[in-house]
Amino acid sequence: MNDRIDVALIYPPWAVLDDRSILQNSLPPLGILSIASYLESKGYSVKVYDIHGEKREDTDLRQRLKRDRPRYIGISVLTNMCIPAHKIARICKEELPDSPVVVGGAHAEALPERMLRNSAIDFVTRGDGEETMLEIVEGRDPSTITGLSHRDNGAVYHNPPRAVERDLDSYPLPSYHLVDFDYYFPAAGSYRNLPAINMLMTRGCPGKCNFCNSAMTTLRSRSPESIVNQIKFLHENYGIRQVQFYDDTFTATKAVCLKFCELMEAANLDVTWVAYIRGDCFSDRIAAAMKRAGCHQVLMGVETGNAEIAQSIGKPIDKIRYFEAMTIARRHNLEVRATFIIGHMGDTWDSMLDTLNFAIDLDVDLFQLNICTPYPGTQLYREAVDRGMLQSTDWNRYGQGDVLFKQEQLSAEEIYRFERYAFRRFYLRPKVGFRMLKRITSWYHIRDYIRAARHLLLGNKKKGTGDWQCWQDLNEEDFFDMAVTEPTTPRLTYELRQAANFS
């Protein structure tokens, strides 16, 4: 039995990929790689199966399971990969019935009972997965493992939440050696150099956005020193020249951000980077430091240009702060990629027009527009369910491109029509085209612009190549074979991670 590996960690395919692939990125699964490195640091053998990044089929998964015969299996579950994850769990049990299957991630922790309706899934982890997965692999009694939901004699039990780990430096750097960098690429318009990689300096967010799983979760950070050392390692060992920070708000902790910039500037690496900011967490001092340290673009979540909608979604930042942030970014020659959302609860054609006009008035460099999506674990999802407005729990549609809750004052057809109108009105302006031409430094940028234009302006959407047919047209209900009762009131992510008890 010594030829078995200890753990296989699996990243399922995004169901949304073939519809919006030219605008999406494909980057290493950091959550899985962090768990992998933690387990490796404790002496366990680990392999990562990135089904999404490598675009693997189910037959390939079966071959790997037969080859490696992992004693434990972990599957990451985001909402739009939930249904393929159920199939993956079933395949794992068919090939290795003695290997416990563990699922975690934002979707699984928000809906643990629903995941456990699939008998192929043994455990659901909630919150950070490093210590929880280690204790499972160590063979501890499931009833003693905090942050775990599990079945026992057909009943579901939720152990108390695990204490939030505030010292992220206690976790080793992600196990990048377990994935093949040749499969990964950044989103169109988000990079200056290649190859690129994604990173996180923080976890959690103090914001209160009603559409976000991270809302009101505990904000923690790695030390700036460890992050700069990680970038050095990636640059020297993998030739990385671009870093995409996916922290919810990179500049939320001013001192940490400034220290990181100071260390990056001193390191003098040939590495450029981008990061998220908030309109109310940005200043000349921070922008200047970021620019000197190699930052070339900031991503700002504006979401709406209507004051009433901004208040209702939990992001009541005054418009003047966004104009100030734009002025600061321009002053320091930083590009601004701004995200906006239409179809908010309470939105109308006029309020969506406020959003579009605000984007044009701000004069952002890149305009990213999504349709409001009620992800499980968010305030928005709870409200849509409680008010009987949720129209679909087909998780394949949860990719920010579908209308998923019904409103009397605004039809789905109007939202889709406005989306097409907004992209054309924003991007078919001469000044936008001129700026895009100025940013071209390689043929990769030209390729991205052509693909994005076909998708956004002409409405040509790639519908799939057939390579992933095995992961398509799946029905979640077909995997439910356990009589498990789901709660009538949806839970919120921050509550289930931080409450004294979980019920």
Whether a cis peptide bond, with omega within 30° of 0, leads into 28 is no
Q: In the predicted model, is pLDDT for residue 23 greater than 60? A: no
Find the Cα–Cα–Cα–Cα dihedral 23, 26, 30, 31, rounded to 10°: 80
Average of per-residue pLDDT across 308-313: 97
Give pLDDT, residue 353: 98
Average of per-residue pLDDT across 280-285: 94
User: Within 10 Å of residue 472's Cβ, how many Cβ atoms?
Assistant: 14
User: What is the rounded CA–CA span in Å between residue 367 and residue 408?
Assistant: 28
Q: Please give, one letter per residue, the 3-state secondary structure of 207-275.
A: CCCCCCCCECEEEEECCHHHHHHHHHHHHHHHCCCEEEECCCCCCCCHHHHHHHHHHHHHHCCCCEEEE
User: What is the rounded CA–CA span in Å between residue 456 and residue 443?
Assistant: 20
In the chain, % of residues over pLDDT 90: 81
Dump pLDDT digits (tens) for 83-111. 999 999 999 999 999 999 999 999 999 99
Dump pLDDT digits (tens) for 345-392. 999 999 999 999 999 999 999 999 999 999 999 999 999 999 999 999
Using CA atoms, how far residue 332 sits from 96, 189, 290, 297, 490, in Å, is 56, 19, 9, 10, 44
Q: Where do the domains of the chain lie, and which CATH numbers do they carry?
A: 7-166+473-481 (3.40.50.280), 193-440 (3.20.20.70)
Give pLDDT, residue 18: 52
Give pLDDT, residue 6: 98
Average of per-residue pLDDT across 467-492: 91
Reported as a pLDDT band with limits 50, 70 and 90, residue 175 is: very high
Average pLDDT, the chain: 91
Q: In the predicted model, is pLDDT for residue 190 greater than 90? A: no
Q: In the predicted model, is pLDDT for residue 336 greater than 90? A: yes
Q: In the predicted model, is pLDDT for residue 331 greater than 90? A: yes
| More reliable by pLDDT, 462 or 178 | 178
Distance of CA 335 to the CA centre of its chain: 22
- Burial label for 24, CB within 10 Å (0-12, 13-18, 19+), is middle
Reported as a pLDDT band with limits 50, 70 and 90, residue 137 is: very high
User: What is the rounded CA–CA span in Å between residue 179 and residue 174?
Assistant: 11
* Residue 286 φ/ψ, nearest 5 degrees: -65, -45
Give pLDDT, residue 366: 92
User: What is the rounded CA–CA span in Å between residue 190 and residue 365?
Assistant: 11
| Residue 338 · residue 300 · CB < 8 Å | yes
Reported as a pLDDT band with limits 50, 70 and 90, residue 187 is: confident
Give pLDDT, residue 430: 86
Give pLDDT, residue 495: 86
Element (H, E) at 157: strand 155-158
Nearest Cα residue to 113 out of 70, 176, 158, 179: 158
Q: Which residues contact 285 (CB under 8 A, 6 or more apart)?
A: 258
Dump pLDDT digits (tens) for 215-268. 999 999 999 999 999 999 999 999 999 999 999 889 988 999 999 999 999 999
Dump pLDDT digits (tens) for 419-467. 999 999 999 988 877 676 666 665 555 555 555 555 445 544 433 344 6
Q: In the predicted model, is pLDDT for residue 22 greater than 70? A: no
User: What is the rounded CA–CA span in Å between residue 398 and residue 426?
Assistant: 25
User: What is the rounded CA–CA span in Å between residue 314 and residue 207?
Assistant: 8
Q: In the predicted model, is pLDDT for residue 407 greater than 70? A: yes
Give pLDDT, residue 60: 96
Give pLDDT, residue 380: 98
| Residue 338 · residue 302 · CB < 8 Å | yes
DSSP 3-state assignment of 431? Answer: helix
User: What is the rounded CA–CA span in Å between residue 181 and residue 33?
Assistant: 13
